[in-house]
Amino acid sequence: MALRRFSHITTVFLLTIYRAISLVSVGWPDTLPLGLLDLDIVDKIHLDLNTTTQFSIDYGQLSQAAPAAVYCPSSPDDIAALVRFAYTSPRYFTIAARGRGHSVRGQAFAPGGVVVDMASLGRGRADRLNVSSDDAPARWYVDAGGEQLWIDVLHETFKHGLTPRSWTDYLHLTVGGTLSNAGISGQTFRHGPQISNVYELDVITGKGDMITCSREENSDLFYGVLGGLGQFGIITRARISLEPAPQRVRWLYLVYTNFDMFTRDQEMLISKLEKGFDYVEGRLLKGKDVSSSSFISEEDSEKIKLLADEFGAIYLLEGAVYYEQAMASMVYQELESLLKQLSFVPGFAFTKDVSYIGFLDRVHEEDTKQSSTEHEDVLHPWFNLFLPKSRIRDFESAVFKGILKNNNPVGLLLIYPFNKNKWDDKMLAAIPDEEEVFYTIGLLPSATREDWEYLDKQHHEILSFCHQEGIDFKQYLPQYVTETDWMKHFGRKWDVFVQLKRRYDPKALLSPGQRIFTTPL
């Protein structure tokens, strides 16, 4: 009886969705007998302008594309039913799973289709985050719903004295969202990106099939979905590896005026996988970018600002060492010894002792303080690249000291290295092939309606420079619109990418906002 009722409700719900898509896309007449609608299902479908407008913009605020409907599922079964209906319908429609809408170029849009509000899966449910272990006690993991925020994953696992190994700098993003890209941060050099730390996934494919996959089972889907930009399935659960959580973090800012010394020290630090830093990032700073924060006092920020003004720009190496309170004295001694091997400006080493959770959630804390003074119409034309180690000096000369020399918009400019051997080559995330160490460059400005196009023009100048100089770069969170560019981006992995699309989403229903496949295969 319960199964028959589910089938009836699902059918009525899907007819409602189909009617909405049809009216928006082809102007079909209103023929659905509304008296058949089940109130419980109707409540999950949102066709009103306020809701569809809300889901037509993202964090970047650079573009807008309205869906025909927004669907708020209460279970993965609801999502699978939607996708199956879209796949089997004579006039199929596109579907985009959306977490917190933190994309910046419309990657989670579904123009004229259906946006699935993934946050609905976790509302009022405590069973979407579960910490457990295999028969082998050493392998602990958390089963996290694709809609779960990483900050909630952190708090839940920390209750058990455990933590995921790899993070993003901003934790108020969804598990499914970051795993569809890669998930990078200052821990990546040691543990690889977040996608390298997953044991298992539950995925809904573009045919509506619900498939559990891992390195051993349905491995092609597993490797494809992790870093696959949402093209082969919607992640509804991820089994993420855990390790014992540290109690404290020794957090460091080290200031450099010489780029070669800055990068040399970063590369040395990521090579020390024992008794070294647990977190390594870096950034370029100009005087206008320096301000006091929860880490830097007003006195120290003024000191750094004067140095930046003197040299035009400086480089900040941000590091961290994790430890247990009982080991504090020994950790401090080892850290002092390590600092003697580095070439930062004397007198410009700043340290602070913080909790582990406080360190990991630091970006959100600072963002919360700044958001009170930031206007709602601030745009975020972000741009991210991966570059081989051997070309980072060329990039610094031509871009940091050339194209970006007179930049005015405020924002972060990140520069830090990864170890290639910590990335699983079977996964589809695109990284430079040439060398064992490569850098990420993150240009993360806040812009206005008046200057964002100027910044975009600079980004195109940077890409042109890389092309002209033959630099083997890859965009992270790529922003291409032609098949030729996508083929070049994925390189030797493109054929596998197309094969997986043909196998798991042949009608190109999923993640249309990525603009990789615009017609069925």
Write out the DSSP string of 24-75. HHT-------GGG--HHHHTTEE-SHHHHHHTT--TT-S-----SEEE--SS
Angle between helices 76-88 and 2-25 (to 10 degrees): 50
pLDDT at residue 340 in the model? 96
Q: How sure is the predictor about 18, in pLDDT bands with cuts at 50, 70 and 90?
A: low
Answer for the pair 67, 114: CB distance below 8 angstroms, yes or no: yes
For the chain, what percent of residues have pLDDT higher than 90? 78
Mean pLDDT of 226-243: 98
Q: What residues have CB less than 8 Å from 89, skipping those under 6 apart?
A: 18
Could you say which of 102, 191, 380, 459 is catalytic? 102
Mean pLDDT computed over every residue of the chain = 90
pLDDT at residue 42 in the model? 54
What is the residue extent of each domain of the chain? 48-245+486-520, 248-475
pLDDT at residue 3 in the model? 36
Say whether 172 is catalytic.
Answer: no
Count Cβ atoms below 10 Å from residue 72 Cβ, excluding itself: 18
Query: For residue 31, is pLDDT > 80?
Result: no
pLDDT at residue 376 in the model? 65
131 vs 140: CA distance, rounded Å? 7
Give me the architecture of the 48-245+486-520 domain, per CATH.
2-Layer Sandwich (3.30)
pLDDT at residue 296 in the model? 86
Say whether 459 is catalytic.
Answer: no
For the chain, what percent of residues have pLDDT higher than 70? 89
Could you say which of 143, 202, 278, 281 is catalytic? 281
Angle between helices 483-490 and 494-504 (to 10 degrees): 110
Say whether 169 is catalytic.
Answer: yes
Could you say which of 58, 156, 169, 267 is catalytic? 169
pLDDT at residue 40 in the model? 46
pLDDT digits 0-9 by tens, 384-418: 999 999 999 999 999 999 999 887 666 899 999 99
475 vs 268: CA distance, rounded Å? 25
Query: For residue 373, is pLDDT > 70?
Result: no
pLDDT at residue 509 in the model? 98
CATH code 3.40.462.10 for 248-475: yes
Q: Indicate if 248-475 has the same CATH topology as 48-245+486-520.
A: no
Q: How sure is the predictor about 116, in pLDDT bands with cuts at 50, 70 and 90?
A: very high
Query: For residue 1, is pLDDT > 50?
Result: no
Q: How sure is the predictor about 28, in pLDDT bands with cuts at 50, 70 and 90?
A: very low
pLDDT at residue 492 in the model? 96
Q: Residue-wise over 357-376: b if at least 16 C-beta within 10 A, else e? A: bebbbbeeeeeeeeeeeeee
Q: What is the pTM of this model?
A: 0.92
Mean pLDDT of 252-272: 97
